[in-house]
Amino acid sequence: MKKRKLWILGGVLVLAALSPFSNPSRTNPPIVPGHDLCATNPPPPKVVALLRAACYDCHSYETEWPWYGRVSPVSWWLMDHIKDGRKRLNFSEWPHDNPKKARTRLKNIREEVESAGMPLRSYTWIHTNSRLNSSDREELANWADQEAKRLAKLMEADEAK
């Protein structure tokens, strides 16, 4: 039994020693002009500032990679977190040509911001400028709600044609 524990401990130590040499790539995909949320019909400047401070690192191709993103195993966790964030919502791939999809995303943004589900606490611990106070949350939620309603009216007008 002791021998087995020693082998397991040795294996863990070897993996820990080799982990710094296997960091994932910290690159951002190219940004396609006109695809970003702020490219056409941009939100008000305050909303843009809030989105960039609290959301864009995980939900766009404009991630600013922090120093701790070079340290394994944190780099692996960070890369998975960003991949998941981009998969769920990516401001760099905003569906300008699909109002129904954009409206759904805006509703989700409103829900997450109002419920304080976003930004994640683990992110705001280190990135203090991403913390949203109640006024910021209200501003973002109101914007998302107004945009969703605007898109609903556009969709109704298109259906009436």
Give the model's pLDDT for residue 69: 72
Q: Which two tokens stand for residue 111?
A: 């829900």
How far is C-alpha 49 from the geometric centre of its chain's CA atoms?
15
- Residue 8 counted as domain residue: no
Nearest to 33 by CA among 122, 93, 119, 76: 93
- Residue 12 counted as domain residue: no
**Worst-scoring range by mean pLDDT, 71-80, 133-142, 146-155?**
71-80
Residue 25 has pLDDT above 70, yes or no: no
- Residue 106 counted as domain residue: yes
pTM for the complete prediction? 0.78
- Residue 14 counted as domain residue: no
Q: Determine the Cα–Cα distance for residues 33 and 125; give it in Å rounded to an integer.
A: 32
Residue 121 has pLDDT above 90, yes or no: no
Q: Determine the Cα–Cα distance for residues 118 and 18; give it in Å rounded to an integer.
A: 34
Average pLDDT, rounded, for the chain:
85
Give the model's pLDDT for residue 1: 67
Task: Identify the domain containing residue 138 by its residue range.
Answer: 25-160
- Residue 6 counted as domain residue: no
Q: Which two tokens stand for residue 3?
A: 């021998």
Residues in the chain: 161
Q: What value does the mean pLDDT take over residues 53-77?
A: 84
- The total number of structural domains that make up the chain: 1
Q: What value does the mean pLDDT take over residues 100-109?
A: 94
Give the model's pLDDT for residue 65: 80
Q: What value does the mean pLDDT take over residues 22-29?
A: 67
CB-CB contact of 113 with 140 (8 Å): yes
- Residue 63 counted as domain residue: yes
